[in-house]
């Protein structure tokens, strides 16, 4: 596990700004970049792959960035970017929020929404900015997006509470991460994800400050997000869900006792939905039915086929053939097939969730 990147010393001075702009687009997301220092621009960029997340380090001369609706439509990695401004300062505007000058602290950004950012040296001068950026897939964060969206362009203190713990962990990743064994990257990435979620939850007051009546709802939302993110893991079971959230199985079942669908039912139905969508799509036509089932955590092909037929009234192969036929028949039939599969046949596990 090593840092990937090129220091500015390896790029001619006249090309550094263009190189860095391209590096930002490739490493983070397409954006407009401008600077008053293009002639003598200084920059470094490096990326550390950590399984579910990615840590990037950037050092650069003052610049301005903008991510527009048009750029979002062109390409969106659907990530949250948590930037820790270790030197210089940064100001971010997004979602109606304005961070103000951020120095030494962190700020959250969302690639799926327009944003503007200005980076400069300390005190707004011409010095360089250094930032560590943790890139987290939106789907991987075990918090509801509508809650996290309240945190964009908000300063997150890096000197107290979970913010300090997260900052120290990111600093250790920066210095020690490249020396770790390749097999450790998934575990380090998972830990970074968990610390980020805890830091944001603390800032939002999801667990600590909400009323007692609201806490079970917040916990159910986190569990639902965790299930969605781990559907491909064959080991995903109610027991795994309970252990991850520090609950007993009895407490987990009690948490969902008023819901129409049990935890096991949620896992099964969502896996079937993902398989249904993959079987109908053209992108995975070369994959076998068994491979698609395994992709979403089904280890036994016959068990999957029975569950699929029970849910949708046809076998996985029949559903795939119907989708292929619909692709050649036109948009109306494709829409009919999709809506019919989504609802499921009357009395099926999809149209009428089982407890």
The secondary structure of 111-163 as a DSSP string is TTS-EEEEEESGGGSSS-EEEEEEEEEGGGSSS-HHHHGGGBT-EE-SSSHHH
CA–CA separation, 317 and 338 (whole Å): 15
From 154, 179, 204, the end of a domain falls on: 204
CATH code for position 243 = 1.10.10.60
Q: Is the pTM of this model over 0.75?
A: no
* Shared domain check, 166 and 18: yes
Is 245's pLDDT higher than 60?
A: yes
* Shared domain check, 180 and 252: no
User: What pLDDT, on a 0 to 100 scale, did the predictor assign at position 337?
Assistant: 52
* Shared domain check, 167 and 40: yes
| Structural domain count of the chain | 2
C-alpha dihedral sign at 270, 274, 277, 279? negative
Give the model's confidence band at 351: pLDDT under 50 very low, under 70 low, under 90 confident, else very high: very low
Give the model's confidence band at 342: pLDDT under 50 very low, under 70 low, under 90 confident, else very high: very low
Q: CB–CB of 231/274 below 8 Å? A: yes
Is 208's pLDDT higher than 50?
A: no
**Average pLDDT of span 268-292:** 92
Collapsed DSSP state (helix, strand, coil) of residue 80: strand
User: What pLDDT, on a 0 to 100 scale, did the predictor assign at position 344?
Assistant: 47
**Average pLDDT of span 130-148:** 88
Is 282's pLDDT higher than 90?
A: no
* Shared domain check, 170 and 35: yes
Is 302's pLDDT higher than 70?
A: yes
* Shared domain check, 223 and 159: no
User: What pLDDT, on a 0 to 100 scale, did the predictor assign at position 163?
Assistant: 92
* Shared domain check, 222 and 95: no
Is 219's pLDDT higher than 80?
A: no
Structural domain harbouring 276: 211-355
Question: In the chain, pLDDT over 70 holds for what percent of residues?
Answer: 85
* Shared domain check, 262 and 164: no
User: What pLDDT, on a 0 to 100 scale, did the predictor assign at position 5?
Assistant: 55
Is 350's pLDDT higher than 70?
A: no
* Shared domain check, 153 and 62: yes
Give the model's confidence band at 333: pLDDT under 50 very low, under 70 low, under 90 confident, else very high: low
**Helix, strand and coil percent figures for the chain, each rounded to 5:** 50, 20, 30
From 204, 221, 255, the end of a domain falls on: 204
CA–CA separation, 87 and 119 (whole Å): 10
pLDDT in tens, 22-52: 989 988 999 999 999 899 898 888 888 888 8
Is 346's pLDDT higher than 50?
A: no
Q: In sequence order, what are the residues at sequence separation of 6 or more whose Cβ sits closer than 8 angstroms to the Cβ of residue 285?
A: 324
CATH code for position 93 = 2.60.120.10
Q: CB–CB of 197/58 below 8 Å? A: no
From 204, 236, 270, the end of a domain falls on: 204
* Shared domain check, 181 and 117: yes
pLDDT in tens, 170-198: 999 998 887 787 777 778 888 898 889 98
DSSP per-residue letters across 29-75? ---EEE-S-GGG--EEEEEEEETTEEEEEEEESSEEEEE-HHHHHH-
In terms of Cα–Cα distance, which of 338, 30, 50 is closest to 188? 50
* Shared domain check, 181 and 56: yes
Give the position of tokens 């999709």.
338
pLDDT in tens, 51-107: 889 999 999 999 999 999 999 999 999 999 999 999 999 999 999 999 999 999 999
Output 207 or 229, whichever has higher pLDDT. 229
User: What pLDDT, on a 0 to 100 scale, did the predictor assign at position 187?
Assistant: 82
Give the model's confidence band at 331: pLDDT under 50 very low, under 70 low, under 90 confident, else very high: low
Is 2's pLDDT higher than 80?
A: no
Question: Which of 154-158, 254-258, 284-288 has maximum average pLDDT?
Answer: 154-158
**Average pLDDT of span 276-282:** 90
* Shared domain check, 87 and 58: yes
Dig out the tokens for 317 from the structure: 């192969």
* Shared domain check, 226 and 331: yes
**Average pLDDT of span 292-301:** 94
Q: Biggest alpha carbon distance in the chain? A: 69
User: What pLDDT, on a 0 to 100 scale, did the predictor assign at position 142?
Assistant: 79
Is 220's pLDDT higher than 60?
A: yes
User: What pLDDT, on a 0 to 100 scale, did the predictor assign at position 287?
Assistant: 92
């Amino acid at each position: 596990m090593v840092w990937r990147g090129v220091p500015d010393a390896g790029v001619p001075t006249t090309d550094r700004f263009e190189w860095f702009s391209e590096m930002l687009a490739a490493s983070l997301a397409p954006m407009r970049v401008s600077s008053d220092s293009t002639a003598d621009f200084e920059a470094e960029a490096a990326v550390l792959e950590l399984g579910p997340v990615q840590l990037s380090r950037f050092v650069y001369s003052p610049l301005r960035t903008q991510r527009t609706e048009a750029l979002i439509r062109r390409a969106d990695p659907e990530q949250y970017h948590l930037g820790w401004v270790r030197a210089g300062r940064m100001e971010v505007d997004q979602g109606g929020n304005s961070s103000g000058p951020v120095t030494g602290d962190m700020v959250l950004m969302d690639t799926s929404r327009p944003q503007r950012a200005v980076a400069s040296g300390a005190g707004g001068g011409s010095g360089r900015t250094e930032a560590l950026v943790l890139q987290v897939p939106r789907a991987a964060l075990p918090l509801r997006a509508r809650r996290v969206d309240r945190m964009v362009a908000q300063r997150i203190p890096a000197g107290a509470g979970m913010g300090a713990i997260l900052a120290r962990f990111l600093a250790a990743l920066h210095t020690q991460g490249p020396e770790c064994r390749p097999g450790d990257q998934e575990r380090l990435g998972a830990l970074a994800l968990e610390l980020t979620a805890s830091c944001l939850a603390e800032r939002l007051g999801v667990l600590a400050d909400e009323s007692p009546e609201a806490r079970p709802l917040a916990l159910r939302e986190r569990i639902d997000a965790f299930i969605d993110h781990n559907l491909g893991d064959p080991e995903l079971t109610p027991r795994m869900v309970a252990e991850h959230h520090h609950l007993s199985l009895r407490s987990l079942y009690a948490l969902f006792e008023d819901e129409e669908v049990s935890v096991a039912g949620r896992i099964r139905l969502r896996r079937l939905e993902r398989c249904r969508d993959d079987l109908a799509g053209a992108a995975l036509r070369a994959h076998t039915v068994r491979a698609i089932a395994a992709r979403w955590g089904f280890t036994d092909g016959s068990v999957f086929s029975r569950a699929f037929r029970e849910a949708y009234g046809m076998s996985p192969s029949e559903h795939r053939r119907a989708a292929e036929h619909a692709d050649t028949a036109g948009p109306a039939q494709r829409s009919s097939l999709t809506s019919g599969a989504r609802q499921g046949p009357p009395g099926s596990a999809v149209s009428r969730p089982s407890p």
